[in-house]
Structure 1
């Protein structure tokens, strides 16, 4: 069922993104739950208390990316106590412009962003980057839930430094940092997928300053193609040129080689493998993850059915029109009601803790790390 659901939802998001339609009321039943590689259907119940019991510290120091906590050494008994399920689904939230007055249904206001992030923090979600997610490098405290915050198009509303040299409070980065200050367990990070003028900046010095500030503070800045075209109608060479030009730009600006790509409008090129690997003018690209424009929570990166070349995302929005069954408010409420389907961390980045019944749902390459209970 996952494939058809993704296809339909992605078409909806593409249409909205292209024409900027206002969401209109729509009837229809809620969609089936995502196929999260669960052996048995969950029972509806409130989410468990995300505060875990005391774990066993990992032996020796633990090297963690910026802002991430050191792990614990999860045993089967500890995993059972925190109800770990690292085969569960993960919300990858998709944002576009963050502006005071919305002009398109996919726009969000700074206050709407703040409310959603505060809701995530209160529920026990901890942000990680898209690159960390797809690599399976999920360093989230035991009993908490990973979430991936993604911002498309490198819009000026995503990042801007104020006179004091800090992100302006009404930008996406500013809101994220403010929420993290008030909710210390909410890691201040996100992925910004940019085009040829990151954050609306045109001179190289300003672009470099912005990119390096973000990367230096634990954010990811990655590839969204040069001019945001529909890759599905472009010749192979042009597709590769669109991707390589942004890769070269980001490397020059100090972001490093991007590991992830967000498809403009969620549309893949032909053949779709060109979205992951290719070359142009002597430069190669090789992404660990390629992200769509909408659908449902993503499967765990450890799941057999996880497709790194077509990772699901959820548009941030309320429950009106098509968003009644596709967007963030619907899915976050759904995950509250189906906690057995949600990814719950064991706090140990070296182990994959799951209920014993789910062992067969983990991809073979990860089996050596399974901690079943």
Structure 2
């Protein structure tokens, strides 16, 4: 389950110099970042009403942390630690926009994850605590914003085009068994430019292990909109997705990472949408969904980028963070291999959400 954040690893929003809301480069659709993740607005309680993993009846009755298995301890399991949620946009041969990543860069980052012991899970699995990866491995959440053709397209035979994000991800998964080919796509109205094939395309993604998320209809800055307009932006794309797939989405990613005046406007609207988790444009790995301070309505993400100077990617983007986690392995989520228990070192016990103590295992 989730890795414990070990003591000693600094987080960008706890140190001076973290990028500000206006720090994005010209042309960015999704600046990095908008505000510190995990900070509640007035009157809101961080982490309230979290779905989380459901304790077993026995665990709920006991409510005490038990001993870890020898195998979990041997794997250095730490399921209260940090989980990288990586944020991608277009995957192209020649970048023309700030947030573009080249096909080569994307493939290399996936190979780095695969060889580094990471296993992709969906955003929905993450926020609901359904994290099931082998012992000693680390979950990673791959998210794609804006539903562009470079992310997903099918050839005349109905197969993913090889140079799209989906095609590359599937190819890397074939080369590295155990690296699960899954990701979450946050959709706008363009829907990958499928032009009349939207229903077939979205069904293909769902049937092949990919997840769909809500990114609003027209990618407006929700912080500038009224309650009515926020709910229309979210509700209109949700209705379109449901009409094409028969399913509601589980999570929302804010355009530009910008929260509306009240989180409740975006979290749910009766008869239209209800989200288990909401993602920012953030600049750090996420807390474990089993940690007491996990805020499901403000989940941090990490922009995929090399250690470049812009937006202080030398410290806050994917290459830098993956290096940081490799140097400090005790700070990242390492699975115990059992989706029904939450194993972590004894020093991290006070970080476990109280409602999950019966599922906790320490060593």
Please report the TM-score for the alignment, with normalisation by the length of structure 1.
Answer: 0.81
Distance change >3 Å, CA 297–CA 252, structure 1 → 2:
same
Q: Does 1:331 align with 2:325?
A: no
Q: How does 1:142-221 map to 2 (within 5 A)?
A: 142-203=135-196, 206-221=197-212
Q: Residue 78 of structure 1: which of 71, 76, 91 is its match?
A: 71
- The match for 2:355 is 365
Does 1:140 find its partner at 2:133? yes
Q: Deviations over 1:269-323 (max 9, x none)?
A: 01122221234xxx33211110001210100000111110000000000001121
Structure 1 residues 142 and 269: CA distance shift in structure 2, 3 A: same
Residue of structure 2 in register with 1:287 after alignment? 275
SS at 2:101 equivalent: coil
* SS of residue matched to 1:193: strand
Partner of 1:115: 108
1:207 & 1:274 partners in 2: Cα distance? Answer: 28
Supply the distance in 1 between the matched residues of 2:162 and 2:195 (Cα, whole angstroms).
22
Change (3 A) 1:194 1:16: farther
Flag structure 1 segments of 5+ consecutive residues without an equivalent. 24-33, 36-73
| Offset at residue 233 of structure 1 (A) | 0.4
Go from structure 1 to structure 2 and tell me whether the alpha carbon gap of 1:5 and 1:196 turns closer, same or farther (over 3 Å shift): farther
Report matched runs for 1:220-259 at 5 Å. 220-254=211-245, 256-259=247-250
Structure 1 pair 274–5 and aligned structure 2 pair: CA distance change class (3 A): farther
User: Conserved in 1, the CA contact under 8 Å of 2:22 and 2:31?
Assistant: no
Give 2:121's match in structure 1, choosing from 128, 131, 148.
128
SS at match of 1:11: coil
- In the alignment, the residues of structure 2 paired with residue 316 and residue 159 of structure 1 have an alpha-carbon distance, to the nearest angstrom, of 18
Distance 1:21 1:306 in 2: 23
Residue 16 in structure 1 maps to residue 25 in structure 2: yes
> How far off its partner does 1:8 sit?
4.5
- State the secondary structure of the residue aligned to 1:148: strand
**Counterpart position of 2:293:** 305
- SS of alignment partner, residue 316 of structure 2: coil
CA distances 1:109-153 after superposition (whole Å, capped 9, x unpaired): 111110000010000000000000011100111100000000000
Partner secondary structure for residue 343 of structure 1: coil
Q: Secondary structure at 1:78's aligned position in 2?
A: helix
SS of equivalent residue, structure 2 residue 241: helix
- Whole-angstrom distance in 2 between the partners of 1:355 and 1:19: 41
- Distance in 1 separating the partners of 2:99 and 2:70: 44
Equivalent position to 2:99, from 103, 106, 109: 106
Structure 2: any 5+ residue segments left out of the alignment?
Answer: 1-9, 39-66
When residues 370 and 222 of structure 1 are mapped into structure 2, their CA distance, relative to the original with a 3 A threshold, is same
1:253: Cα distance to partner? Answer: 1.2
Structure 1 pair 230–5 and aligned structure 2 pair: CA distance change class (3 A): farther
241 and 10 in structure 1: CA distance in 2 versus 1, 3 angstrom threshold = farther
Q: Contact conserved, 1:22 with 1:104, CA < 8 A, in 2?
A: no
Distance 1:267 1:20, change over 3 A: closer
TM-aligned CA distance change 1:81 to 1:128, over 3 Å: same
Give the alignment partner of residue 344 of structure 2, picking from 351, 354, 357: 354
Distance 1:269 1:120, change over 3 A: same
CA contact (8 A) 2:95 2:102 kept: yes
| Pair 1:260 & 2:251 matched | yes
2:29 touches 2:256 (CA, 8 Å); kept in 1?
no
Structure 2: distance between partners of 1:246 and 1:21: 19
Deviations 1:217-274 (A, max 9, x none): 1110110000000000001001001111111111111161101000000000011222
